[in-house]
Amino acid sequence: MKKSISLLLAAVLCLGLLAGCGGESAQPEPEQETSAEVYVSAFTPMRLQQDAEASVWAIAPKGVYAAVYEKLADGEPPEGIVPEYEGQYDVMGYRLYRIDDDGSARPLDYSSLPAPEDSEDRKNYSSSCTLERLFPAPDGGLIAVERLEENWYTGGDDVKQENFDEYWQYVENRSTVALRLLDGEGRERESRMLDIRDADRYLNLHSAVTDTQGNLYIALEQELCVFDLHGEELARIAADGWIYDMVRLKDGRVAVEIWDNGTRFLAADLQGQKLDRLAETDRFAERLMAGSGDYDFYYSNGTRLYGYRLETQEPEEVLDWLDCDLSAFGLAEAEIAADGTVRAVTWEDGEPPALVTLTKHPRDAVPERKILTMGTLYAGNISDAVLRFNRSQDAVRIRLRDYSDYVDGEDYEAGLQKLITEILAGDMPDLLSLDSLPYEQLAARGLLEDLYPYIDADPDMDRGDFFENVLHAMEVGGGLYQATPGFTIITIMGPSELVGDTPGWTYDDYDAAISEMPEGCTPLGPMVDRDLILQMCVYLSLGRFLDWGAGSCDFENEEFYRMLAFCSQFPKPENVIFEGESSDMSRIAEGRQLLLFTSIYSLDEAVYNDQYFQGKSTYIGLPVMSGTGNVLYPSAGYAMSASCSDKEAAWSFLRGFLTEEYQKKYSGRGEVGLCLNRKAFQAALDEAMKVEYERDAEGHYLLDADGERIPAPKGGMGVSVDGGAMMEFKLWAMTQEQADKLMEVIETSTRAADLNTYIFGIIRDEAAAYFAGQKSAEEVARLIQSKVNLYISEQR
């Protein structure tokens, strides 16, 4: 939430500045020259076992190697020990597979090293061996890098594992690294433990690379360690910054990437035991890939693959992964040949892993599709949906404009400013991801398309399919300008015996409840300060104080005065005292806190929340003059521009977020929130209310003394409470009472957050004089009215 708020401030500032520039606007940049060749993808599914989860990949000539962590053999429990769960003593480990170019897979004769054993009788000792990396060896075999990890406890018996923070202060860790040479069938030919000193420093095996001779390069924070094929140390070179990543250059050398206020590339000189400067750039290069052909190295940022020439010290776009029907976030491994052919392993959610080959074809030999552009500030939020749409038909392709590409150095808001500038210059994308954009203003200015007519005309969709109060809350001037799959509710909970059992209360109701608090009790937790409460109140009620469609505002009224008085009761941010030993749960249980400031992002959260007050609570909301003070946040918003070049095609994409199928699939993965589609919501609710029962190791249901099945928790989470102890929240099946309470708070929530941080900044700055007792609420409201009126006039 903080990221979105900070980005939005830049967006609103940018709108305000541009609106005051006398109508002059920047011209859109010219389109880049179209290449005569395009990449065409060919997918070959890998025939691994259905439940195989490969964690390490290596692309080799005419195939791929994959390491899968799986059950190797059935295990037997120690004599006299009853397993706590099925498979507790199974033998688990890595199995190595060779996948040929036709997708066929066969297991190799590979065994990982055994985990270390404790020979010193150390407390709570545990150990493991993890296969971290695989590399093709120069002779056609494999180089395997394995990490052996040991943990043990060194503290006294008075510290319990449940006291998480204190316990882990006394846990020692030791990591060692093994370099193993394997033949083409996975059999070990040679093994050597690497001499990596100062193992208390961060050992970055994820970035390890090999050069053309098979020498292994490992980063140890600000030091580069190099070993030959036999594990002999070749170099140990100090760097003047943290080594973030490494890559093999086209000429066979290895370069390190150091990131500190910019990105620097330095080549390892093994003979001179030093790092030679290669290039510097303000851009951050992710997913480095070995150089070949025209480029010294490659990297993938966002949805695009770039080639980098050291001679010019400039990146060049090679391809857009989405244009090749690939997600950059689903790439497990990739390499580029000298002729530009790309071989990659893609492993997308819900799909089997596949070997993908991208080859160049003449543009005029590939059927053309109509292009719709979609502007986004972060491709990861939307790329999967774009990928699914592009693969589903042959007539239209959505092409992302990922404005995070314009982030330069430490100016993280440059992409947002670029997008806003292009919108106001008339270079509006066909579609928009609304994260951090001023949705209400864009809609009020007529830049977005009303989606209600499309919903009404859709034969498979109706407004009644959704929570209509949520749709209504997102309206601007009676129109709906964004498609969102779900929403979150920000609210306040309280004990029903004090706040009542119906959502919604007035300022008078709040004052009456607070007056009943015992001595030493606070309304909310110690971290809830005046600015946070004011911010929530402004975002909740801004729509009642201004009308973007009419271009008017009214802050000089009793509701605004009462809001300021309510916020004045909370401490200034600089006066907030962090009580690290005290949680909301313990404070509420001890009578030191009356209410809980919380969210409902998932059905699980609704069950967890109910435990704070032992099930006797009400989602009462923020106090307001009338109605219910719950803040609705769309979990994601996607819009069609009013100037979209193919509105029917754009709607066929946007409608996907509203469907029951989409929301059912993604609701449990942190991508939807509470489902907007009623059928998808009900399906999730039915699953949440399904009771699970305890079973024994053979799967038989356990029974209580009355012969009834024993309910089992579906999960749990630990919460730090007093003294660093951990209290476990157990996730039980949702009860009918909890479901009814949730439905009530959803259906009584009618206000969507208006995240206008520019206006909030005006209110916060002027209200400071009221909070300090220097001005009356009426005087402050008059100043706010004047400044917001001026701002609104600049936006029209």
Helix (H) or strand (E) holding 664: helix 660-666
319-346: average pLDDT: 91
Q: How confident is the model at residue 9 (pLDDT cuts 50, 70, 90)?
A: very low
208-234: average pLDDT: 94
- Residues 527-563: pLDDT tens digits? 888 999 999 999 889 888 988 878 889 999 999 999 9
* Longest CA–CA separation in the chain, Å: 85
**Residue 13 pLDDT > 60:** no
Q: How confident is the model at residue 585 (pLDDT cuts 50, 70, 90)?
A: confident
Q: In angstroms, rounded to a whole number, what is the distance separating the alpha carbons of residues 159 and 636? A: 44
> What does the pLDDT read at residue 779?
96
More confident residue, 44 or 697: 44
**Residue 595 pLDDT > 50:** yes
> What does the pLDDT read at residue 120?
87
255-269: average pLDDT: 89
Q: How confident is the model at residue 2 (pLDDT cuts 50, 70, 90)?
A: very low
Q: 280-288: list long-range contacts, CB under 8 Å, 24+ apart.
A: 280/313, 281/313, 281/315, 282/408, 282/409, 283/315, 283/407, 283/408, 284/259, 284/407, 285/245, 285/257, 285/315, 287/328, 287/331, 287/334, 288/245, 288/246, 288/247, 288/257
Domains and CATH numbers, the chain: 368-482+636-668 (3.40.190.10), 483-527+578-635+672-755 (no CATH)
**Residue 200 pLDDT > 80:** no
* Of 731, 18, 11, 762, the residue nearest 412 (C-alpha): 11
3-state helix, strand, coil in the chain (%, to 5): 30, 35, 40
Identify the weakest region by mean pLDDT among 158-162, 395-399, 585-589, 632-636. 158-162
> What does the pLDDT read at residue 517?
87
CA distances to 486, 598, 606, 612, 629 from 619, rounded to whole Å, are 19, 9, 10, 12, 10
Q: How confident is the model at residue 5 (pLDDT cuts 50, 70, 90)?
A: very low
Q: In angstroms, rounded to a whole number, what is the distance separating the alpha carbons of residues 50 and 62? A: 23
C-alpha triplet 475, 478, 479: angle, nearest 5°: 65
**Residue 152 pLDDT > 60:** yes
729-739: average pLDDT: 87
358-376: average pLDDT: 91
C-alpha triplet 110, 114, 119: angle, nearest 5°: 165
Highest mean pLDDT, choosing among 626-640, 665-679, 705-719:
626-640
Alpha-carbon torsion, ordered 181, 186, 188, 190, to 10 deg: -10
Contacts of 1 (CB under 8 A, 6+ apart): none
272-288: average pLDDT: 86
Give yes or no for a contact between 504 and 490, defined as CB atoms under 8 angstroms apart.
no
- Residues 83-111: pLDDT tens digits? 766 777 888 889 999 999 999 999 999 99
Q: In angstroms, rounded to a whole number, what is the distance separating the alpha carbons of residues 335 and 341? A: 8
- Residues 22-44: pLDDT tens digits? 333 333 333 344 578 899 999 99
Across the beta sheet with 105-107, what order do the strands follow? 54-60, 63-73, 91-100, 105-107
Q: How confident is the model at residue 164 (pLDDT cuts 50, 70, 90)?
A: low
709-737: average pLDDT: 72
Contacts of 587 (CB under 8 A, 6+ apart): 522, 525, 593
More confident residue, 715 or 747: 747
Q: How confident is the model at residue 746 (pLDDT cuts 50, 70, 90)?
A: very high
Mean pLDDT taken over the chain: 86
> What does the pLDDT read at residue 726?
55
User: What percent of the chain is modeled with pLDDT above 70?
Assistant: 89
> What does the pLDDT read at residue 1?
36
Burial 419-438 (b: 16+ CB within 10 A, else e): bbbbbbeebbbbbbbbbbbb
Identify the weakest region by mean pLDDT among 54-68, 147-161, 488-502. 147-161
655-659: average pLDDT: 96
**Residue 18 pLDDT > 70:** no
**Residue 407 pLDDT > 60:** yes
> What does the pLDDT read at residue 455?
97
Helix 757-771 × helix 530-545 angle, to 10°: 120
* Of 560, 506, 553, the residue nearest 534 (C-alpha): 560
Identify the weakest region by mean pLDDT among 575-579, 713-717, 744-748. 575-579
> What does the pLDDT read at residue 51?
64
727-741: average pLDDT: 84
> What does the pLDDT read at residue 259?
82
Length of the chain equals 796
> What does the pLDDT read at residue 132?
94
